[in-house]
Amino acid sequence: MKRKSVLVNINPKYFWQETADEIEGTFRLSKQVQNAGVMVYDHYHLSIEKYFQEIKLELHSTFLKSPTINDEFYLNSLRITTDLENQNEFYFYYWEKGLFEKLFRLNGQYSEYRDFDKKIGFKTNRSRDIQEFLADKEIRELILNQKISIFNIQTENDVVKIKYQTSQIIWDKKTLLTEYHKYEKFINGLLKINLIKPQPVTAKFIPTGCKNHNR
């Protein structure tokens, strides 16, 4: 998915901190110098770590700040990820169908929900489980309504990786929360039918009180 950068005049770290507080996550901000032609920008990485039903969710974005102009920030898009060990191998990816596929139903795997199957093709190694997952109307609508965003699940080196990538520019806390809750709904749908399992972690890996860091 193509990434884009947008100029804003408000430092995004503030509403990321507010969002982390609201969802009881841990906010982190890191900085590195980035050279861009003849100009030098400060490059920042934003992240929030949140535990949802013993599943770690990580929100990531970046922005560039001009060191000479106080209110010039170039904001990038958002991704949310989860890595899970001790799971069954699992992949699920989908795409919006073109006209040829719509006419001839060539994708080979179906949810059995006509309105969904007319628009979305998918591949998975867990067909029956995915059919149960997609039996939830809210999940089908969640996928159908993502015009500039996509969910993806794959297994690499025995780790199930769940990703949400969006080209939606995160302007404020409301937008960030909206995207976060989409991902939470997707994860909750997988948990409800045991497509993924909770992954308990020891207390030393969970930030006490979920306080924010590096403010």
Rounded to two decimals, the pTM is 0.84
Mean pLDDT is lowest, of 56-60, 107-111, 157-161, for 107-111
Confidence of residue 207 (pLDDT cuts 50, 70, 90): very low
Tell whether 215 is covered by a domain: no
What is the rounded CA–CA span in Å between residue 135 and residue 130?
A: 8
Asked if 20 and 41 touch (Cβ cutoff 8 Å), the reply is: no
Q: Is 67 within the bounds of a domain?
A: yes
Domain annotation covers residue 141: yes
Please count the structural domains in the chain.
Answer: 1
Place of tokens 């060539």: 106
Q: What is the pLDDT of residues 116-139, one digit of tens each?
A: 998 999 999 999 999 999 999 999
Residue 98 — very low, low, confident or very high, per pLDDT cuts 50/70/90?
A: confident
| Phi–psi pair at 24, nearest 5 degrees | 60, 50
Q: How would residue 115 be classed by pLDDT, with cut points 50, 70 and 90?
A: very high
What does the mean pLDDT of the chain come to? 85
> Is 105 a residue whose pLDDT tops 80?
no
Question: In 3-state terms, what secondary structure has residue 142?
Answer: helix
The whole domain housing 15 covers 6-210
Which parts of the chain are beta strand (E)? 6-8, 26-36, 39-52, 55-65, 73-75, 77-84, 92-96, 120-124, 149-156, 159-169
Q: What pLDDT is recorded for position 76?
A: 83
Q: Is residue 197 part of a domain?
A: yes
- What is the per-residue pLDDT for 214? 46
- Does residue 191 lie within any of the structural domains? yes
The answer to whether residue 1 is domain-embedded is no
Q: For residue 155, is it within any domain?
A: yes
Percentage with pLDDT > 90 across the chain: 60
pLDDT at 92: 97
> Is residue 110 situated within a structural domain?
yes
Query: What is the per-residue pLDDT across 40-69, written as a single tens digit (0 to 9) for each?
Result: 778 899 999 999 999 999 999 988 887 777
